[in-house]
Amino acid sequence: MTKFFHYILNSKITALLGCCIFFALLLTACENTQEEINALSKKRIAVEEAKFIESYLSQGGKMKARLTAPVMNRYQTDSPYIEFPNSLHVDFFNDSLKVESQLNAKYGRYRETEQRVFLRDSVVVFNLKKDTLKSQELWWDQNKEIFYTDKDVEIHQPDKIIYGKGLEADQSFNWYLIKQITGQVQVPKGGFGPAIATDSTGVTGTDSSGVSGKDSLKIN
């Protein structure tokens, strides 16, 4: 069983009950637009708000990750979820409690019953080997301890950038599988400048392992 726990600092709970909203809807249904009625209905959801939170992920009795965020909202619905609307940062630890990978995103939504986190907007994951994953959307499955997406991804390595579509990786980012390579750019020793790139199909070049642009690529 894995879960986030120990929300701290400046907690504020706002409970919005449905009775008043129900009567307000009855009184104003004839005058308000459907959009206004829908907006009032949403206020019936109970919301727990916390600021400057620090939360921990435990797996098998060991601390595996630490999450920090400026704002956290927990929604009490039939399928409760936690939202991080103003960015979040996660440090992933090895068994010696040393940070081995990190994650940043501008938005996150944690589905409590599924123990999955949906991340979007400037999602970045990087490890100690200086491998960096960039994507606009990414899922983090806590039970399987993996990241995955079917969206476009970029893998930045010290000597090259690999472009692809679809990815699976462990949450420590020690290995990753790119499902479809769409291109590659070599990075010269002096940094970015004139670079050799494959075309959009990847036919004009292969990586150092000889894998063509149309194949999947797994890195350990």
Half-sphere exposure of 75 (CA within 13 A, CB side): 16
| Sign for the pseudo-dihedral over CA of 141, 71, 66, 218 | positive
pLDDT tens per residue, range 76-88: 888 889 999 999 9
In the three-class reduction of DSSP (H, G, I as helix; E, B as strand; rest coil), residue 24 is classed as helix
pLDDT tens per residue, range 169-208: 999 999 999 999 999 998 776 555 443 444 434 433 334 3
- The CATH number that applies at residue 95 is 2.60.450.10
Q: Tabulate helix, strand, coil % of the chain (nearest 5).
A: 10, 55, 35
Which region, left, alpha or beta, applies to residue 27 given φ > 0 means left and ψ of -120 to 50 means alpha?
A: alpha
Q: What pLDDT shows up at residue 33?
A: 64
Q: What pLDDT shows up at residue 219?
A: 63
**Count of residues making up the chain:** 220
Structure letter (DSSP) for residue 97:
S
Give yes or no for residue 2 having a pLDDT over 60: no
pTM metric for this prediction: 0.69
Q: Which amino acid is at 175?
A: W
Domain limits at 67?
3-219
Q: What pLDDT shows up at residue 57?
A: 87
Phi, psi of 98 (to 5 degrees): -100, 140
Q: Which residue is associated with the tokens 């291109």?
A: 183
pLDDT tens per residue, range 7-53: 433 444 343 334 344 434 444 444 556 666 565 555 556 788 999 99
pLDDT-above-70 percentage for the chain: 65
Buried b / exposed e along 40-65 (16+ C-beta atoms within 10 A):
beeeeeebbebeebebebeeeeeebb
pLDDT tens per residue, range 134-155: 999 999 999 899 999 999 999 9
- The total domain count for the chain is 1
How far apart are the C-alpha atoms of 185 and 197, rounded to whole Å? 4
Q: What pLDDT shows up at residue 76?
A: 87
Q: Which tokens is 214 given?
A: 């149309």
Are 211 and 184 a contacting pair, CB within 8 Å? no
